[in-house]
Structure 1
Amino acid sequence: MSGACRLSLREVDCSAQAIGATDTAVLQRLALLFAPELKVASATLGDDGRSVRLDGDGLALLGAVSPMVELVVQRCTNSGGCFIGAALPGKDALSSYLGADAGSWGYTADGRIRHKGSDVQSGLPTYKAGDRIRMTLAGGVLAWHINGQRAAELRGVPSGVHFGVSRSGGTVDRPGIYGGGTVQGTLEVRIERASMAGAVRCSAMLRPLCALMGREGNALRTLRLGGNGAWAAGDGATLAAALGAASCVVAELDVSGSQLAADECFALANARHLHTLDLSGTAVAASAASLEAVLTGRLRSLALRGLGLGALDGGKAVSLLCNALPRITSLRHLSLIGNRLNVDHVTSLIAAAAGLRELHVDLRHNPAYPSAAPHLPTGWLLDLGPAAWQHGAVKAAEASAKIGGDPGSINLLQLFPDESRLIAAGSAASTRNATVYRPDASTVGVLEGHEADVVAVATDGVHIVTGDTSGSLRLWDADTLATAGQLQHSGSSVYCVAVRGDLVVSGSTGSTVKLWRLRARECVATLMEHSARVSCVDVGEEAIATGSDDATVRLWPRDGGASRRTLAHPSPLRAVRMQGDVLATGGLDAAVRVFALSTGQLVRELRGHEGSVQSLALGGSVLVSGGSDDRTIKVWSLLEDVDASECATLDTHPSPVRSVAISPSGGFVASVINGEGAKLFVWRPAGAKKAR
């Protein structure tokens, strides 16, 4: 299984994007606890392996390779003999303390790192009982964090190590390290969180999960297994049988990328409680008949991404869908992205899907931009693809208007999801306002009430959040623009903000990130792993991304736990954006980098700007970047089969570009500049028509 595992009473997430495991029983099955076979006799396990106590000499390792573990120190006496670190498993792994040989590394409670029997670092932060220690291993870098602060790191550590703890009270070669003689003590720790390594296949999870579904009274309703590659033969049948158990109540299932056969998909689709199903990346569309078989009347949400339906059976699959949609009266959400649809396909689907709340379709692979793109109802998504910018002669902005006074008065821009409005920090009258505009650059309204300069704006179409240099966050109703409350980011200035549903994330000049819940109007977590100003944030479906002047992007779970991944960059960050499995970053080195969010792997590095990249925007399969110094906007394609060169360069800005935004369809781009007065530009490819 690639990725990690998160379990709660109602949801199991073993997708490639998931992280964090807290259920003792599942951890035990996955060997993510301290394992009896990986300890010496003096290590005493407690709470089914979740805790370990070492009295005198002893060592205990987790039973599986893990990219992250978070421990709480319960007891720690004789700090020089307490070690938390990692070791390569093997016959000699338990023969001594962590750091005694070439195959282990140990961080002592008195602030030293031992390796090959010697100190390789010293003078580091210390730890004691009550402290929280998190270890991560990524890209050969083993890192220790103490109470959320990065304490130390070592490079060149192999990926196959097991995290663990050890005690050593015996005499060592260098006098004075342990008082020069035998000193006994106790080290006791407890696992709070752990992550599953990529070596365990998805099939290893099915047996315990199926057993859980078969247990009377279980409440498991959501099961996400997507993104883990092809499943082994028989896995689909095993899961289908478990879904048919009388005690099973699973209602939401994701098996995307599993390559399950058509008959297995049919069996899953007919599970009695199931109403949400993701069959993207399976063989469900082996024929039009097999596709028709899964279109059951009980499904409310169905994802069939990347199946090539536009070319299946000469287009018969699309006709079949159009005929079936009116009959599936319960269906409300349908995703057909990546199916090589043409304009006629999309137009037919729109007409047939009148009863849906959401339809996601695209024209990504259309060879040319349609002269008149089909109109979609509010909330639906049509990704027009990069062809609009590759083949459209973009000569000048469709609309432009002066929207600010003094230089610096307008410095941020974000588009509403329905493409109807944009919000910018500042106004023509004051830098302490925010302003909502239409795409033709006319003003909808001004948000007034801040007592300091507004430097951050965000909207999800329902809420608007604005932040200022005093640390104040103000909330607004996106429809009426009426004030809806206030939050205070104490101790430092707000520098960036993002909002999605009930969650607001704010970054500060003081290196902290705060998570807020709108309904409760309170801060629910403070993230403190960055070491410099947090310059950019974004909230995705599964994760939070933060970029900093410390030249790192960190990915966090939405519940505010410890960061799950750190992406090092060569320069300070200025922009970060997420969409699906895409994570895009920009910074002072003039490069735009695209990562796979699920793995953290760099997919593309886009170069073309001559100055820093200050702003990024994602719209369907199009990425837009704005550089402050070279006064240009670049439009890039995210399609795998399109070369990484830019689709278009919009370079008629008279002064540096401060911020960019793109419509969800990719049909128009907006930009803000500051020079002798701020100005808003709106760009559309030649031949493109405005949405009605």
Structure 2
Amino acid sequence: MATTGGPSSPLNIPPELKKEGSDWFAVFNPKVKRVLDVELIHTLTHESVVCCVRFSADGKYLATGCNHTAQIYDAETGIKTCVLSDESADKQRDLYIRSVCFSPDGKFLATGADKQIRIWDIEKRKIRNIFDGHQQEIYSLDFSQDGRLIVSGSADRTARIWDMVDGTSKILSIDDGESDGSGGPNSVANPNATATDAGVTSVVISPNGQLVAAGSLDAIVRIWDVNTGQLLKRLRGHQDSVYSVKFMPDGNELVSGSLDKTLRYWDVGGIGSGGASGSGSLVKNGKGDKGGLCTMSFTGHTDYVLSVAVSHDANWVVSGSKDRSVQFWDAKTASWQCMVQGHKNSVISVDLSPVSSLLATGSGDWEARIWSYNNI
């Protein structure tokens, strides 16, 4: 399994290996050829912690989630175009919007905060649907590329697949006897886990709409079949909670980020029918299954990895960390290309534009930022 070290302190770095802005800097890896340039484009000031950032499918807009409001910005100009706030919510209590996701046609924005998923009509600035069912806070949302389904992950230890037309849902439970948190042989993935520690932190639907992957507090990544709801695979390797999962564009690989300070790259092409080469047959859990092998580990962050993203050309993996940095990794080799630092608190969320070379970051410093990254 490939593994490579991360950047050292920015002190004493030769000028050709660093770039400095007014309130940010980038450091480039001296051991690999420099092929990227990074630039800060916009700083978007918010009124609370920025919990999540997400580009629209056409890359024209960026949505952010913070306390009580979701906001939409023009990604090119940085101008705020829309603020969405549920007027019926109790303003005296915190209501952090932990996940936002545009529908593929750009007409709707799904937000997850408390136990409800709110589907907003962006043009009308009004709630179109509310999906009820989760028993605890919602941490993550993702639309299928055809816009027909939305998947959610919650602290209640379940993921759900929702039908956008009729609002019905299918429960994907992680209470599968493998992570009971009792300290017995089944809880080796995270020895510090307790029975309530299996909350679902991150969900993603594969590009072809066949698989759902979820990261969990119990350090396991699980993959289900969308159509049947059957659990197909558990990906083990992380030593602490998994906070973020993303499929590569072809659906044959998956990237995960963890509180163990690492990212992992998984071959999932043989699981179910999720990959481009999938046969459509279900894969039984057990030894000798096709797919599910960790092929690379990305090491270099000095604190929790809180969010991961992948570029539309499949060349780059980007991660945001509690160490306040963003790192660009070569998706083929797991070597780091550059480390960007500008936020004054944890980088809670990162996203890459689906069509262009833009990066968005959201932080505990009450700012979201839009960056460009370009080949040189």
Same fold flag (TM > 0.5): yes
Matches within 5 A, 1:128-277: none
Q: Secondary structure at the match of 2:364?
A: strand
* Contact 1:496 1:508 (8 Å CA) reproduced: yes
Q: Secondary structure at the match of 1:498?
A: strand
Higher normalized strand content (fraction of residues) = 2
Post-superposition shift, 1:475? 0.7
Q: Secondary structure at the match of 1:393?
A: strand
- The CA deviation string for residues 391-432 of structure 1, in whole angstroms up to 9 with x for no partner, is 2333x4122131x123x2x21011111110111112xxxx11
Aligned to 1:476: 120
Q: Which amino acid aligns with 1:631?
A: R
Aligned to 1:126: none
Cα distance change of structure 1 residues 686 and 510 upon mapping to structure 2, 3 Å threshold: closer
Post-superposition shift, 1:646? 1.4
Match for residue 42 of structure 2 among 392, 396, 399: 399
Q: Secondary structure at the match of 1:551?
A: coil
* Contact 1:630 1:656 (8 Å CA) reproduced: yes
* Contact 1:611 1:629 (8 Å CA) reproduced: yes
Cα separation, 2, equivalents of 1:687 and 1:589: 30
* Contact 1:459 1:478 (8 Å CA) reproduced: no
Aligned to 1:434: 70
2:297 counterpart of 1:652:
no
Post-superposition shift, 1:570? 1.5
2:55 counterpart of 1:415:
yes
Aligned to 1:585: 256
Cα separation, 1, equivalents of 2:232 and 2:173: 12
Post-superposition shift, 1:650? 1.2
Aligned to 2:152: 506
Post-superposition shift, 1:653? 2.4
Match for residue 305 of structure 2 among 610, 613, 633: 613
2:217 counterpart of 1:549:
yes
Match for residue 465 of structure 1 among 110, 129, 132: 110
Aligned to 2:367: 679
Cα separation, 2, equivalents of 1:536 and 1:644: 22
Q: Which amino acid aligns with 1:464?
A: L
Cα separation, 2, equivalents of 1:420 and 1:622: 21
Cα separation, 2, equivalents of 1:560 and 1:609: 37
Cα distance change of structure 1 residues 467 and 587 upon mapping to structure 2, 3 Å threshold: same
Cα separation, 1, equivalents of 2:327 and 2:261: 12
* Contact 1:621 1:637 (8 Å CA) reproduced: no
* Contact 2:215 2:244 (8 Å CA) reproduced: yes
Aligned-pair RMSD on alpha carbons?
A: 2.2
Cα distance change of structure 1 residues 391 and 485 upon mapping to structure 2, 3 Å threshold: same
* Contact 2:322 2:348 (8 Å CA) reproduced: no
Match for residue 533 of structure 1 among 179, 199, 205: 199
Gaps of 5+ in 2: 1-32, 90-94, 180-197, 270-290
Cα distance change of structure 1 residues 526 and 627 upon mapping to structure 2, 3 Å threshold: closer
* Contact 1:616 1:623 (8 Å CA) reproduced: no
* Contact 1:590 1:627 (8 Å CA) reproduced: no
Matches within 5 A, 1:629-668: 629-639=322-332, 643-665=333-355, 667-668=357-358
Match for residue 85 of structure 2 among 448, 469, 480: 448
2:158 counterpart of 1:515:
no
Q: Which amino acid aligns with 2:104?
A: G
* Contact 2:64 2:72 (8 Å CA) reproduced: yes
Post-superposition shift, 1:649? 1.5
Matches within 5 A, 1:242-391: 390-391=34-35
Q: How many residues align?
A: 286
Cα distance change of structure 1 residues 453 and 686 upon mapping to structure 2, 3 Å threshold: closer
Which structure would you say has the larger RCO, counting Cα contacts within 8 Å and 6 or more residues apart? 2
- The CA deviation string for residues 257-277 of structure 1, in whole angstroms up to 9 with x for no partner, is xxxxxxxxxxxxxxxxxxxxx
* Contact 1:592 1:625 (8 Å CA) reproduced: no
Post-superposition shift, 1:503? 1.0
Matches within 5 A, 1:33-48: none
Post-superposition shift, 1:522? 1.6
* Contact 2:158 2:171 (8 Å CA) reproduced: no
Cα separation, 1, equivalents of 2:375 and 2:233: 43
Cα separation, 2, equivalents of 1:629 and 1:432: 23
Percent identity, aligned pairs only, is 23
Q: Secondary structure at the match of 1:634?
A: strand
- The CA deviation string for residues 584-638 of structure 1, in whole angstroms up to 9 with x for no partner, is 0001011111111211111211111111111111112233433332111111222
Q: Which amino acid aligns with 2:68?
A: R
* Contact 1:515 1:560 (8 Å CA) reproduced: no
Cα separation, 2, equivalents of 1:665 and 1:638: 18
Cα distance change of structure 1 residues 453 and 401 upon mapping to structure 2, 3 Å threshold: closer
Cα separation, 2, equivalents of 1:472 and 1:510: 12
Cα separation, 1, equivalents of 2:200 and 2:220: 10
Gaps of 5+ in 1: 1-388
Q: Secondary structure at the match of 1:419?
A: coil
Cα distance change of structure 1 residues 405 and 593 upon mapping to structure 2, 3 Å threshold: same
